[in-house]
Amino acid sequence: MFRFCFAVVFEMISWKNSFKKISEEYALTLKKKEALEQLLKTGRISQSTYDDFSKEIDATLEALESQKKALMEKMKGKVNELETQIKTLEVFLVNLEIQRVTGEVDETAYENQAKSLTAGIEAAKQELSSMLNAMDELSLKAEPVEVKEVLKPFESSSVAYEEPAEEPKGETEEESAEQFPSVEPEPAVESSTVEEAESEEKVEFEPLESEVSPAAEEDTESELETTREEEEVLL
């Protein structure tokens, strides 16, 4: 029974290897990300190069986050086991003390067993404390690196973009008026003027009956009578 309890307690050390590996890789990846941010900040790399490396680093961080979550779940189970083992060892220690009082165990056996149980309880408590601290560290999320200063352009490939200055509205309206002059509408013709023009046209096309005088008509009739008389004389 004692061997089984101590074997379970000392097997808990195996989680430390996984925790150490994940923690080191995670810290190294964060340093890479920070270095990449500094390269972009100082203009030593272009935005496209930064994006390519940033995708790879973010993918690595996501994979490490998944490993951290899986390790956290295993450690939660180990914590429960440690708490159970500590309680079990304490029960054995209490029974040993009772057996000592009742004389069921001699002093030599008592000292050896009590020493082993006490060492096991202390080791389990230390392991539990270390595991809880490690779980707290794993639960912390990395804070993103903030670049507050304006990023300099990449001198060899990119050109800084400058926004065009805004022109005053008054000048713009004058220039548009010069380029596209407005067409003034023709003045409307009054209705009275149109009526007068139509009446004049009508007057021009009417027959001039009044121009023939009565005297001219009498001369014409006398000429006709003279002509008739001459014709009768000839007959």
- pLDDT given for residue 137 in this prediction: 85
Q: How far is the C-alpha of 36 from the C-alpha of 48, rounded, in Å?
A: 12
pTM check: above 0.85: no
- pLDDT given for residue 95 in this prediction: 95
Beta carbons within 8 Å of 26's beta carbon, 6+ residues apart: 61, 64, 68, 142
Closest to 85 in 3D by CA, of 132, 134, 120, 126? 120
Q: How far is the C-alpha of 200 from the C-alpha of 226, rounded, in Å?
A: 43
Flag residues of the chain having pLDDT under 70.
Answer: 1-13, 141-224, 226-235
- pLDDT given for residue 203 in this prediction: 45
- pLDDT given for residue 35 in this prediction: 95
Greatest Cα pair distance in the chain: 202
Closest to 54 in 3D by CA, of 41, 73, 37? 37
Summarised one tens digit per residue, pLDDT across range 166-201 is 554 444 445 444 554 554 545 444 444 545 545 444
Pinpoint the alpha helices (H) of 103-146: 107-139
217: which 2 tokens? Answer: 């008509």
- pLDDT given for residue 141 in this prediction: 55
Summarised one tens digit per residue, pLDDT across range 48-74 is 999 999 999 999 999 999 999 999 998
Beta carbons within 8 Å of 30's beta carbon, 6+ residues apart: 61, 142
- pLDDT given for residue 216 in this prediction: 56
Query: At residue 145, what is the residue type?
Result: V
